[in-house]
Amino acid sequence: MVRIHAVPAFQDNYLWVLERDGRAAVVDPGDAAPVQRFLEDNGLALDAILATHHHGDHIGGVLELAARWKCPVFGPAHDGVEGLSRRLGEGDRIVVPGLDYALRVLDVPGHTAGHIAYVHEGDDPVVFCGDTLFACGCGRLFEGTPGQMSESLAKLAALPGETRVYCAHEYTMSNIRFAEAVEPGNARLAERKAREAAKRGRGVPTVPSTIAEERATNPFLRCGEPEVAAAAERHAGRPLDGPLQVFAEIREWKNRF
């Protein structure tokens, strides 16, 4: 069985190390040093590097780790990531070397133009979604449109509910504070806040969550809910025409929250 470990980096990034029988792969190694230390401490050999998008806090350690371990680098075909040995896009399937771990690729543009996500299907489903879907939030729109991002989020929301969501940052508590402003009557959100706050109190990551939990509490996946739409209209000070306008409004709202 593949185990997934969080390697914290910078202020609030998680670099994800996948591991089985002494072999490892890393998703979004923004910094080589903490990954290298984790590999040494746990007696692991690195067999593959996977990238979701081109931002430095996700790929800053790629070239150094690839040179050191002489391992392949998988990443998005159209996002300007250097040093790729395999360029990926929607529908591509890979088996992670060393781990015999199958992943399917989704195009999820919005945060960046060429952002991809990696989905593992089966009994223990997992998605590595970089800076697209966050626990109770979503990434900023640096290169894409609200329409692209909401389509990308809809793809992720359509994954099986039990799918564990490995996003790349610990933003959960501030995302929950915003979600409460949007949807104060959501009982599942109040319950989630208590649970996640307890984890942070113990110094434990709130990530991964699950797709089911995101569907129930993440306002960016709930733009068709009347309470979310009403809050967005109050904030906009005008009527909004449908879930996409609601999404665009609450994404803007969150930028200044």
CB of 33 to Zn ion, least distance (A): 20
131 binds Zn ion (CB under 5 A): yes
Using CB under 5 A as the binding criterion, the count of chain residues that bind Zn ion stands at 2
Q: If you count DSSP H runs as helices and E runs as strands, how many of each does the chain have, helices first? A: 9, 14
28 binds Zn ion (CB under 5 A): no
Tell me which of 31, 54, 58, 107 is the catalytic residue.
58
How far from chain centre, in Å, is Cα 98?
23
54 binds Zn ion (CB under 5 A): no
Tokens of 209: 């969550």
- Contact characters 225-254, Zn ion, x per CB under 5 A: ------------------------------
Instruction: Please classify residue 121 by burial: count the beta carbons closer than 10 Å to its beta carbon, then call 0-12 exposed, 13-18 middle and 19+ buried.
Output: middle
Tell me which of 28, 53, 54, 120 is the catalytic residue.
53
* Helix/strand/coil percentages in the chain, nearest 5: 35, 25, 40
DSSP-assigned letter for residue 112: S
Applying CB under 5 A, among 23, 24, 27, 55 the residue interacting with Zn ion is 55
Indicate the helix (H) or strand (E) that contains 36.
Answer: helix 32-41
Identity of the residue, 98 or 139, whose beta carbon is nearer to Zn ion in the bound complex: 139
Identity of the residue, 26 or 232, whose beta carbon is nearer to Zn ion in the bound complex: 26
Tell me which of 47, 54, 107, 111 is the catalytic residue.
111
**Residues 126, 164: Cα–Cα separation, whole Å:** 5
The residues annotated as belonging to the active site are: 53, 55, 57-58, 111, 131, 169
Q: Which residues bind Zn ion (CB under 5 A)?
A: 55, 131
